[in-house]
């Protein structure tokens, strides 16, 4: 079964909100064996919505629409579906009664505008809302089934899980399963080079690469009659990829690098502190987002200036006035100072020139990362271009990865590397 997702809303086209609904719907459809072949976004314009739905229904077995079912004048998905089907809108007393009861239940008088939500294109079914006031709609045109749902995420999820997914699952009888291997400290081009023959030869499962700053995801997707069969297709390929890529693979699916670090700290019963300059607390933010991190992450010193490095962490004036704040010596002293201040088993430090200008005598993109502990005293440097956010993200990744590698007994990077 092929599906197309249509998001309605001018705010999406203007970039005022992200189209997270489409991502969520795609993931859930894949899990029940539905192929999503297209995404479309259209503004609040009746003619363009009709054209969009006509195109979608001409090339997909199921069209899933979000947005435009509210009570205001710019909510026109109902009218567009009626026009597409060539039918009038019909008022449903049962929906009106439900709406009036909802408003009465919260002690509010319902606006007459809400009665628009009681209108359903003739011949269509409706999905009763539980949380909100916008009913969903189900219709058929030219052999394609159209599901229209509210754009409010919780209301959309409710209708997807309660009605849409069960109906489509009954029609497909198959499964699409994905597994993602997450890699750090390697470029997308290098991953592609290592896996080139698999990428070219495999058809089920297939391989895709998803790159972001400091991380490459290798996604395997298999189609089969059920989840177990799909997993069986993925297992040997995932094992082969893991063997080829080696220790740059740090996790699978939703296991982030910070989650991996917290898990390893827990396994070792160790505590960690940070000293951050160019990342401005970014590593600490990521670590503290992990449930249970408080048992092992004790704190971070954000020391953005040379004076702060000296006053808080005891970085020497000789280092700051000599090699400078972006140097091996400074990174080492920052890590040692953080370990002392927080009384941690391990401390990782990050200093550098985030860009776009030089800093402390260092070129933009220069990063130094150090790790200190009873059994480790290690420092590395690399250059990550001159884009400020990219440099900061690469620095965070490098710091967390250094901790991961040490805790997991893996080799620590020693050579300079341009990423």
pLDDT tens digits, one per residue of 116-141: 999 999 999 999 998 889 999 999 99
Q: How many angstroms separate the CA atoms of 372 and 399, rounded?
A: 12
Burial class (CB in 10 A: 0-12, 13-18, 19+), 80: buried
CA distances from 192 to 34, 74, 197 (A): 27, 46, 9
Q: How many angstroms separate the CA atoms of 324 and 317, rounded?
A: 9
Would you give the end-to-end CA distance of the chain in angstroms?
41
The distance from CA 369 to its chain's CA centroid, rounded to whole angstroms, is: 26
Per-residue pLDDT, averaged over 316-333, amounts to 97
pLDDT level of residue 274 (50, 70, 90 thresholds): very high
CA distances from 370 to 151, 334, 359 (A): 47, 8, 19
pLDDT: which is higher, 172 or 319: 319
pLDDT level of residue 418 (50, 70, 90 thresholds): very low
Report CA dihedral (377, 383, 388, 389) to the nearest 10 degrees: -70
Q: How many angstroms separate the CA atoms of 331 and 343, rounded?
A: 18
pLDDT at 417 over 70: no
pLDDT at 419 over 60: no
């Amino acid at each position: 079964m092929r599906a197309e997702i249509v998001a309605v809303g001018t705010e999406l086209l203007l970039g005022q909100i992200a189209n997270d609904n489409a991502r969520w719907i795609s993931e859930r459809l894949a899990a029940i064996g539905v192929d999503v072949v297209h995404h479309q976004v259209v503004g609040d314009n009746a003619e363009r919505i009709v054209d969009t739905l006509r195109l979608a229904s001409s090339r997909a077995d199921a069209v899933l629409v979000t947005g435009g079912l509210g009570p205001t004048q710019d909510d026109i998905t109902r009218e567009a579906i009626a026009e597409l089907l060539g039918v009038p809108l019909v008022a449903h007393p049962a929906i009106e009664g439900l709406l009036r009861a909802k408003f009465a239940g919260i002690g509010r008088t319902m606006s007459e505008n809400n009665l628009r939500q009681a209108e359903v294109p003739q011949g269509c079914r409706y999905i009763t809302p539980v949380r909100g006031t916008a009913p969903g709609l189900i219709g058929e045109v030219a052999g394609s089934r159209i599901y229209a749902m509210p754009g409010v995420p919780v209301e959309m999820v409710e209708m997807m899980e309660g009605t849409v997914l069960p109906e489509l699952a009954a029609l497909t009888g198959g499964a699409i399963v994905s597994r993602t291997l997450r890699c750090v400290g390697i470029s997308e081009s290098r991953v592609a080079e290592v896996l080139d023959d698999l990428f070219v030869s495999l058809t089920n499962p297939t391989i895709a690469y998803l790159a972001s700053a400091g991380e490459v995801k290798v996604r395997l997707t298999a189609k089969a009659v059920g989840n177990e069969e799909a997993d069986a297709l993925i297992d040997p390929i995932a094992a082969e990829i893991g063997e080829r890529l080696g220790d740059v693979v740090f996790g699978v699916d939703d296991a982030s690098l910070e989650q991996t670090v917290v898990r390893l700290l827990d396994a070792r019963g160790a505590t960690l502190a940070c000293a951050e300059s160019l990342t401005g607390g970014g590593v600490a933010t990521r670590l503290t987002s992990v449930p249970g991190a408080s048992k092992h992450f004790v704190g971070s010193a954000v020391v953005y200036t040379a004076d702060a490095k000296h006053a808080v962490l005891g970085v020497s004036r000789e280092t700051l006035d000599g090699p400078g704040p972006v140097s091996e010596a400074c990174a080492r002293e920052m890590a040692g100072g953080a370990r002392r201040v927080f009384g941690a088993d391990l401390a990782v430090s990050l200093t550098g020139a985030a860009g776009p200008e030089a800093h402390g005598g260092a070129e933009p993109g220069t990063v130094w990362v150090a790790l200190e502990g009873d059994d480790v005293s290690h420092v590395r440097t690399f250059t990550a271009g001159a884009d400020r956010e990219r440099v900061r993200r690469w620095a965070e990744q490098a710091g967390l990865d250094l901790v991961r590698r040490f805790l997991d007994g893996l080799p620590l990077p020693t050579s300079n590397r341009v990423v």
